[in-house]
Amino acid sequence: MTPTHTHGAHSLIGFIGAGNMARSLASGLLKNGWGKDQIVLSDPETSQRRAIESFLGVKTFADNQAVVAHAEILVLAVKPQVLAETATALAPASQEKKPLVVSIAAGVRLADIDRWLGGGLPIVRAMPNTAALIGSGASGLYANDRVNQSMRNQAESILRAVGVTVWLENENLMDVVTALSGSGPAYFFLVMEALEQAAIASGLDPKQARLLTLETAFGAAKMALEGHEEPSQLRRRVTSPGGTTEQAIKVLEEGDLRHLFRQAIVAAIERSREIADMFGKKA
């Protein structure tokens, strides 16, 4: 989706912070038709700035204030633990400019961000996951009541540049998104790791075990994404009565794998809420 309006040579969207996620988003936007003159980033590290200017061909600044002066959409892409300090310093310029603010800082609630920026701003909170770095992300979005439909479309277009998006109507569900898609890649990596180790222990060559594990995981995900059947139905189709798959699934079910995943998700949700409380009290 291309932006609906431009300001000539001035930038439309400004990133505070130029780490991996900001770079991926900026790169995705350029691929989706945004102009190089519509994107600016700030970062205190000279090497980071030079790398981005060389790689993406967009303008960068050492000073966050310069980005706020340019931006109609302001993406907060700093680490959660420094967001309070960063946002508080940006409050005067943000109040003057009144940009749409998109925060991709994990575990920081909208009310806290709004307070640090001086209040009254349209803010969207986004939770992209690590797969956004390769354009296959899954992001949850939540907007405060000052975000109109046009702004929702703009925020969505930014996150959709690196994957799929879902809108949430309750901010508490961001903790569930964090536990599911935010932390989720690690769960699948653990399953891959376990399968690979089990195959090696049963005599398969390590390189063969890795290749077969990864391609099997990829193939299963592709079938689930591209088909029209639920994962449970796909599983049943692969599980022939009296066959090898049935025996393996039986062991996993008897080990209460579902309950284990439920416990894992609940533990991650609880930790997400603790972290949000901790960051919110910082300022």
Greatest CA separation found in the chain?
69
CA angle at 6 for the pair 30 and 147, rounded to the nearest 5°:
90
pLDDT at 9 over 80: no
- Domain ranges in the chain with CATH number 3.40.50.720: 13-174
Render pLDDT for 36-58 as a digit per residue (tens, 0 to 9).
Answer: 999 999 999 999 999 999 999 99
Could you give the CA distance from residue 75 to residue 22 in angstroms, rounded to a whole number? 8
Is pLDDT at 11 greater than 70 in this prediction?
Answer: no
Residue 174: exposure state from Cβ atoms within 10 A (0-12, 13-18, ≥19): buried
Q: Check: CATH 3.40.50.720 for 13-174?
A: yes
Delimiting residues of CATH 1.10.3730.10 domain(s) in the chain:
184-268
Helix, strand, coil % over all residues of the chain, rounded to 5: 60, 15, 30
Quote the tokens at residue 230.
């639920």
pTM of the predicted protein model? 0.89
The whole-number pLDDT of residue 7 equals 35
- The mean predicted confidence, pLDDT, of the chain is 93
Of 148, 98, 86, 101, give the one whose Cα is nearest residue 279: 86
Instruction: Write the burial class of residue 84 (CB in 10 Å: 0-12 exposed, 13-18 middle, 19+ buried).
Output: buried
Inter-residue contact 270 to 71 (CB < 8 Å): no
Domain 184-268 has CATH 3.40.190.10: no
The label of the residue with tokens 């790398």 reads 51
pLDDT for 6 beyond 60? no
Phi (first) and psi of residue 81, to 5 degrees: -70, -15
pLDDT at 260: 97
